[in-house]
């Protein structure tokens, strides 16, 4: 099983970016999917999560600015980030809780994509 993340980059404050993540491999079912981030010197923190049924959870600092969406048929999860602030600068990681065809359940992580918000 692999998670591949895309979409990071440099953006000015107030701008937007869209992160995408695709899961592939021997996947029987994907439960929760989410995005985490880690800024220099900080611990990795949850940004947003979404259940297979579409229930979402956001950390307070991104509520109203970020939107997480998933496509269960394509095994993808996207994070639309609007009104970006310098404090959003971090490496963003996608995460998925996956049950494989061999009945193994694990948390999988993407490789991380850097988001830099700066003028």
Contact assessment for residue 106 and residue 119, using Cβ atoms and an 8 Å cutoff: no
Residues in the chain: 119
Contact assessment for residue 90 and residue 113, using Cβ atoms and an 8 Å cutoff: no
The torsion angles phi and psi of 72, rounded to 5 degrees, stand at: -65, -30
Q: What is the pLDDT of residues 60-80, one digit of tens each?
A: 999 999 999 999 999 999 999
Q: Which pLDDT belongs to residue 36?
A: 98
Which pLDDT band, with edges at 50, 70 and 90, does 95 fall under?
Answer: very high
Residues 6 or more apart whose Cβ sits within 8 Å of residue 1? 23, 24, 25, 26, 27, 98, 100, 106, 108
Q: Which pLDDT belongs to residue 51?
A: 97
Q: What is the pLDDT of residues 24-68, one digit of tens each?
A: 999 999 999 999 999 999 999 999 999 999 999 999 999 999 999
The pLDDT mean for the chain works out to 97
Helix (H, G, I), strand (E, B) or coil at 60: helix
Q: Which pLDDT belongs to residue 84?
A: 98
Instruction: Spell 18-27 as b/e; 16+ CB within 10 A means b.
Output: ebbbbbeeeb
């Amino acid at each position: 099983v692999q998670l591949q993340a895309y979409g990071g980059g440099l953006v000015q404050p107030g701008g937007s970016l869209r992160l995408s993540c695709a899961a592939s491999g021997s996947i029987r079912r994907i439960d929760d999917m989410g995005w985490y981030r880690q800024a220099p010197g900080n611990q990795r923190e949850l940004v947003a999560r979404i259940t297979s049924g579409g229930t979402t959870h956001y950390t307070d600092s991104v509520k109203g600015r970020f939107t997480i969406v998933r496509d269960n048929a394509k095994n993808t999860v996207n994070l639309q980030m609007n009104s970006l602030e310098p404090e959003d600068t971090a490496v963003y990681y996608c995460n998925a809780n996956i049950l494989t065809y061999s009945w193994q359940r694990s948390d999988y992580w993407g490789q991380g994509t850097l988001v830099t918000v700066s003028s």
